[in-house]
């Protein structure tokens, strides 16, 4: 009776008024809750614009003072030749820095890859150590590397206006090796995506085609380097974040073993997660540039500044060896169906390796679904996403994250219920949901032990067939913008090697053909779920875009991984510069 009277009252004019009031109040509350985020975004964009203007003025000033410098010739130099000319005095660090500064500004106009100018690189010119392996080389940095006086926002409003008090260890080592860190590059919000957009700086696009993603989370690096705006960059990788942008943009990138290069001073949004290892690694247009970067970083300075890093200098004899290799390979991981271009890239590379005298052996790591759905996802979200979600309070959520935030915000019981209900129809989504539930300390220790056992089992499998290295497909071509957030399962080719903590690098070997594109019409995926359907749509209209393969080695064998990558590069040698 009371409910009937209440309903009758709310159905009349007063009820309509009340409803309008409640809607208005909800909208006002929503607007107010995002006020801080809006302010942070406005300030970030203003600082970005001011930095870009400073870059442009500095580059123009240098050009006016040095009208005879052949900028195009300088930009065309491979990094090893650039270093040679800098050491020999044929080029000055000023010429190198300001030429790349101008090019980076130009590239940014079409890609939105640069977030800020590290202007004190100009003052560093007076004190660059000439004996350094990277003397006078401009180096771009993914925005997460702490740099004194600069914000590492990760695209999150709570990090805007919080400048670092000191340089991260790798930045200190770069400077001691004569490098000139000169720009920060864009990342997806929180860095937990293989796309590259955020509410502070907006969307970075692929330099080959602006409707395509550059990959992520080191997407700004991928776009800038591929388009010629930087000769060398540093990224990070916890699920493919160096390898996706390298593959999507047609450059080379290496994810080392987790602790080969110092992570001290990195900005993150979740600390203390050690089940799945984060790695710091180089990105460049060729493999020799990656090797040069590792030579420079793996030095006494790094080992002294961060004693937790094993003091393993670069092993030149492994990298320069020409001994035939015993190479494992697989055409598919049976989790993400490779696109026609991925399959062709893998098989063409296999054929040329065999013709060059290497031995190719079929090899597929065991139990890949368990490694992805239970070990990796469970490790990354053992607290149910609580620590991760803290970063988004009062903030906007970028579309690149897809439905991740909404899923993590579900209560534990609802995640479990949805996982149970989805299991018959959508087994992959069900498994991921189930692993995103929070767990006790005891269950987390059990998970760590499972990961350790799994790593040793794959190493034993590897040893049993006496492999040197492994060749695998690499996801490609680049997905449409915002596609990665809706194709989570496609991280399978990369995330596996973060779980295993094996070094892995990517090398571009071909481009998408019209025939590849036509064959995509028949692509179904292995599961026919939303991830497969999204991937099928997101890689269309890609003729001419780069496609890579992935090269893998056992832990601490970065030099062998690079030696294999160099061999693949030598045999395939595609044209990699976007128009």
Indicate if 217 belongs to the active site.
yes
Catalytic residue among 96, 103, 140, 142: 142
Q: How many CA atoms lie within 13 A of 224 on its CB side?
A: 37
Indicate if 542 belongs to the active site.
no
Q: Which residue has the tokens 């996802």?
A: 377
Catalytic residue among 241, 246, 262, 542: 241
Tokens of 191: 């860095």
Residues 347 and 393: their CA atoms lie apart, in Å, by 47
Indicate if 96 belongs to the active site.
no
Residues 90 and 389: their CA atoms lie apart, in Å, by 52
Rg (CA), the chain: 24
Catalytic residue among 146, 157, 190, 217: 217
SS (H, E, C) 472-514: EECCCCCCECCCHHHCHHHHHHHHHHHHCCCCEEEEEEEECCH
Are 375 and 495 spatial neighbours (Cβ–Cβ below 8 Å)?
no
Are 568 and 551 spatial neighbours (Cβ–Cβ below 8 Å)?
yes
Residues 323 and 334: their CA atoms lie apart, in Å, by 32
Q: Which of 117, 114, 340 is nearest to 207 (CA)?
A: 114
Residues 475 and 342: their CA atoms lie apart, in Å, by 7
How many CB atoms are closer than 10 A to CB 526?
A: 14
Are 280 and 253 spatial neighbours (Cβ–Cβ below 8 Å)?
no
Residues 110 and 257: their CA atoms lie apart, in Å, by 34
Tokens of 215: 């990959």
Are 310 and 260 spatial neighbours (Cβ–Cβ below 8 Å)?
yes
The residues that are catalytic are 142, 217, 241
């Amino acid at each position: 009776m009371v409910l009937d009277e209440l309903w009758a009252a709310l159905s009349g004019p007063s009820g309509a008024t009340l409803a309008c009031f409640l809607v208005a109040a909800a909208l006002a509350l929503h607007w107010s809750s995002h006020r801080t985020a809006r302010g942070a975004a406005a300030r970030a964009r203003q600082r970005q614009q001011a930095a870009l203007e400073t870059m442009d003025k500095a580059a123009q000033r240098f050009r006016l003072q040095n009208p005879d410098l052949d900028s195009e010739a300088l930009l065309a130099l491979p990094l090893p030749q650039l270093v040679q000319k800098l050491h020999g005095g044929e080029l000055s660090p000023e010429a190198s820095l300001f030429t790349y500064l101008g090019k980076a500004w130009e590239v940014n106009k079409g890609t939105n890859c640069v977030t800020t100018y590290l202007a004190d690189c100009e003052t560093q010119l007076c004190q660059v150590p000439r004996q350094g392996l990277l003397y006078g080389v401009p180096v771009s940095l993914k925005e997460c590397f702490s740099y004194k006086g600069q914000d590492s926002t990760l695209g999150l409003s709570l990090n805007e206006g919080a400048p670092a008090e000191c340089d991260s260890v790798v930045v200190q080592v770069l400077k001691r090796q004569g490098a000139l860190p000169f720009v920060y590059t864009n990342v997806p919000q929180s860095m937990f995506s293989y796309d590259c957009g955020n509410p502070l700086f907006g969307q970075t696009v692929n330099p080959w085609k602006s409707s395509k993603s550059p990959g992520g989370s080191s997407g700004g690096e991928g776009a800038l380097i591929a388009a010629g705006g930087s000769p060398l960059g540093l990224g990070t990788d916890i699920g493919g974040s160096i390898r996706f942008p390298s593959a999507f943009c047609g450059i080379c990138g290496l994810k080392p073993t987790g602790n080969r290069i110092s992570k001290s001073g990195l900005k993150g949004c979740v600390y203390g997660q050690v089940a799945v290892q984060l790695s710091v690694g180089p990105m460049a247009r060729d493999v020799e540039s990656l090797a040069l970067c590792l030579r420079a970083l793996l030095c006494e300075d790094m080992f002294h500044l961060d004693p937790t890093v094993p003091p393993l200098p670069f092993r030149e004899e492994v990298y320069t060896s020409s001994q035939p290799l015993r190479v494992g390979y697989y055409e598919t991981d049976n989790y993400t169906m490779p696109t026609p271009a991925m399959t062709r890239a893998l098989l063409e590379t296999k054929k040329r390796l065999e013709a060059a005298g290497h031995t190719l052996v079929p090899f597929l790591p065991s139990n890949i679904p368990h490694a992805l759905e239970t070990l990796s996802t469970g490790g990354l979200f053992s607290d149910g996403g609580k620590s991760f979600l803290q970063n988004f309070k009062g903030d906007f959520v970028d579309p690149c994250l897809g439905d991740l935030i909404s899923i993590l915000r579900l209560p534990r019981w609802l995640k479990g219920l949805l996982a149970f209900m989805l299991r018959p129809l959508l087994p992959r989504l069900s498994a991921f949901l189930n692993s995103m539930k929070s767990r006790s300390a005891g269950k987390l220790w059990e998970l760590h032990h499972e990961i350790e056992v799994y790593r040793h089992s794959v190493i034993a499998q590897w040893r049993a067939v006496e492999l040197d290295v492994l060749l695998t497909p690499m996801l490609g071509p680049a997905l449409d913008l915002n596609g990665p957030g809706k194709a989570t399962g496609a991280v399978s080719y990369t995330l596996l090697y973060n779980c295993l903590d094996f070094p892995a690098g990517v090398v571009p070997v071909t481009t998408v053909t019209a025939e590849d594109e036509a064959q995509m019409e028949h692509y179904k995926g292995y599961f026919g779920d939303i991830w497969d359907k999204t991937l099928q749509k997101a890689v269309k209209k890609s003729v001419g875009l780069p496609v890579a393969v992935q090269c893998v080695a056992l832990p601490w064998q970065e030099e062998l991984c690079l030696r294999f990558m160099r061999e693949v590069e030598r045999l395939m040698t595609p044209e990699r510069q976007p128009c």
